[in-house]
Amino acid sequence: MAKRSAPEVNAGSMADIAFLLLIFFLVTTTIEVDSGINSKLPPDIPPPDVKIKQKNIFTVQISNDNELLVEDELMDIKDLRKAALEFIDNGGGQGDAKCTYCKGKRDPESSDNPTKAIVSVTHGRGTDYGSFITVYDQLAGAYTVLRNQYAERTYNRSFTEMEASYKDTKSSDFKSSKLKDKIQDVKTKYPRIISKAEPK
Amino acid sequence: MSKFKKKGGNELPAISTASLPDIVFMLLFFFMVATVMRDNSLKIKNNLPAASEVEKLDKKNLVMFIYAGSPSEAYASAGTEAKIQLNDKFADVKDIASFIASERATKREEEIPQLTTALKVDKETNMGLVSDIEQELRKVNALKINYTTKKGSDMR
């Protein structure tokens, strides 16, 4: 019998397979994106001397021991969102300040109009950042709920969904000016006015 | 004349490509090891708080990061007081203005108003430090900020 050499396996395409894997992972890997709560600081100029009615201010204080005081009363963090919701959507104003789209109780002792309602957060120097963020998150959440409700009533879709599809490159509404106007409208109806006072 | 006839006929011997995948894998591993995802090594504890109303920070190149928290165990010699970290070193509140200025210098002019400052602050930091940072940012007119958080809820 003649000595037969073992047939050589063609390994030339192994490189292609490796490249395929490499490219697949390159494409599918997404580096984690940071996310957080956006906020805007007031410019460093002395604020104009405008009289704000006390009933239009919703004071939230966080003490150095991380206790929550809402309108000078102790409150549990769980009730904060609801309290803020009621305050912002109250719409107790008359005449010029009348709110036509509010669904609140229209209590004359509470805020006039969502565009006038100010949520004021004060904290001590010793307050934990974590508790501040929890409070801030709840307040921002109240605005989101109201914006969603308003958008559902007016445009039959939630505000969160509208914003998402405005930013989504795949959706038909991507950067459409029509949707932008709608988003702007919701934002002007319920502007997020959360003021942060300097700690005492 | 058959004395000088070549032995194996006249076909060319095939070049073995069996080691090509090894070369490709070597490249792959080299890049896997050499790629650094994070450009700042943290010297502080950075346990971010959680929030649910989060928005994504897109346009990574238009974000400036300010870290704050108490020094981590490896840097315990720096004390236990919460500190600010800019780039790779501990910094003082006063250094923020120059940090922002140097970050702005690397950007194009029309991009400057879009710059966002991301505050990556540890949960247990005092708000006093955070508002000091904010005051400093107001002075240099860097008004867009983002409290970087994890997604979730911290409700007790």
Q: What's the CATH code of the domain at B112?
A: 3.30.420.270
Has residue B98 been placed in a domain? Answer: yes
Q: Specify if B77 maps to a domain.
A: yes
Among A32, A137, A158, A198, which would you mutate to test the B interface (most chain B Cβ atoms within 10 Å of its Cβ)?
A137
Each residue of B37-75: b (16+ CB within 10 Å) or e?
eeeeebbbbbebbbbbbbeebeeeebbbbbbbbbbeeeb
Q: What's the pLDDT at A2? A: 62
B19 is a domain residue = no
**What is the distance in angstroms between the Cα of A37 and the nearest Cα belonging to chain B?**
5
Predicted pLDDT of residue B18: 75
Q: Is the model more confident about A169 or about A79?
A: A79
Domain that holds residue B85: 50-151
Residue A37 in this model has a pLDDT that exceeds 70: yes
Residue A70 in this model has a pLDDT that exceeds 70: yes
Nearest chain A Cα distance for residue B3, angstroms: 23
Give which of B65, B70, B54, B61 is closest to B125, Cα–Cα. B70
Question: Over pLDDT 70: what percentage of chain B?
Answer: 88
Domain count within chain B: 1
Check: complex ipTM more than 0.95? no
Q: In this structure, is residue B17 part of a structural domain?
A: no
The answer to whether residue B65 is domain-embedded is yes
Residue A14 forms contact with B (CB below 8 Å): yes
Distance CA B108, CA B111 (A): 5
- Is the pLDDT at B6 greater than 60? The verdict is no
pLDDT value, residue B45: 84
Task: Give yes or no for residue B112 having a pLDDT over 60.
Answer: yes
Q: Is residue B18 part of a domain?
A: no
Amino acid B9: pLDDT: 61
Residue A48 in this model has a pLDDT that exceeds 80: no
Residues A116 and A178: their CA atoms lie apart, in Å, by: 27
Domain extents in chain A: 54-196
Q: Which amino acid is residue B3, in one-letter code? A: K
Model pLDDT, residue A175:
78
